[in-house]
Structure 1
Amino acid sequence: MKGSVLMYLQLATVAVLALACSIAFASDPSPLQDFCVAFDKNDSAVFVNGKFCKDPKDVKAEDFFLSGLNVAGDTSGQLGSKVTPVAVNELVGLNTLGISLARIDFAPYGLNPPHTHPRASEVLFVLEGTLYVGFVTSNGDDGNRLFTKVLNAGDVFVFPVGLIHFQFNTEKSNAIAFAGLSSQNPGVITIANATFGSEPPINPDVLTKAFQLDKNLVEYLQKLF
């Protein structure tokens, strides 16, 4: 009897460890069918982690197609950059496939500011121009290390999932890059916007102490966002 109980405990331990490992290393869920073209279900339903599937009989080639990435994004904004995403909201055929894409255009000295993708790693390919890129590691014994590289046309750089990273055009000419991401919906958290532009605003006393800044400066930054 004791031997049977011990065996079951061992099996249960293995099962829990296997489940923990599968959760720890999982990204988007693996598809269980050829495709699941995203479909906006109009009647009330329970929210799911992803999109509802269109009836396969109604799926068309257009559901897997998107044009326009040959067109440069508008970089006239304050940061001098424009991200054109191709995620599940733009291309419904990406649903459940665990991948997405983005075109990033940079004006001279344009910046894609420090941000994170909470659900995806990113691989960046420079098509044109020169970019100074980097990411910062998480907190730890040897944490918050900065890894940087100057990339030229044809170069590739990887940003691990969830880590703060950026891209900066160091030249007087335009730059173009394409990013591949390991999620159909990678998400974006722009650090400055989230910190100083949250709604409602974070208590200025919190940011004053966290950043060791004058409270007037914190309140000024919050007004900017």
Structure 2
Amino acid sequence: MTEQHLLTQRTARYYTLGTASEQITDLWIVCHGYGQLARYFLRHFAPLDNGRTLIVAPEALSRFYLDGFSGRVGATWMTKEDRLAEIEDQATYLNLLLQTQLQQLPASVRVTILGFSQGGATVSRWLASGAAPVHRLILWAASFPEDIDFSSGKAAFEHLPVVIVYGTQDEFITSESLKKKQQLMNELGIQPQVYTFEGGHTLHSETLLLVDKTL
């Protein structure tokens, strides 16, 4: 038995808050976590919708029923199955999305990439290719994946402001996992700004606004 691949075209879905115009100074690309859908995830970013910011939430290409064979649907960026092909597809998708948005915006627009939970690993792998013009990276309840390509990834994150945000009651974050994340970032030469808030595995409006103002 021989495994083979066929490159095909498919439709990707994304949602926006704000309208592309010459008045836009900031573009945010925000990637949801495991089992979420982009239209619901985007609601957390309503506090940033100020007429000068365009927020774009792409949806992962793989969807599934969250419980059994019907009912609520979620999306996932990847699984362990055929992961290298999925990583490449993600980068192609996100690069095209970013380019499409930038074509409609002033050349001076500032680009912020935010990845929440599984979306954090997704945007880290994407940016490691060095192809995306990004001004700041926010990893929310997330961190760089341990399998990131250090040979190319290191240069991609040089001089890129990185922020880590997590809730102090996040059940997925332990002192041991925080230590591992810090070691990995040290290897990449990254000294992130760290923000915490009282809460669990979720976004937090006040902290989101604080991060936006101080970066």
Same fold (TM over 0.5): no
Larger radius of gyration: 1
Pick the structure with more helix per residue: 2
Pick the structure with more strand per residue: 1
When normalised by structure 1's length, the TM-score is 0.24
When normalised by structure 2's length, the TM-score is 0.25
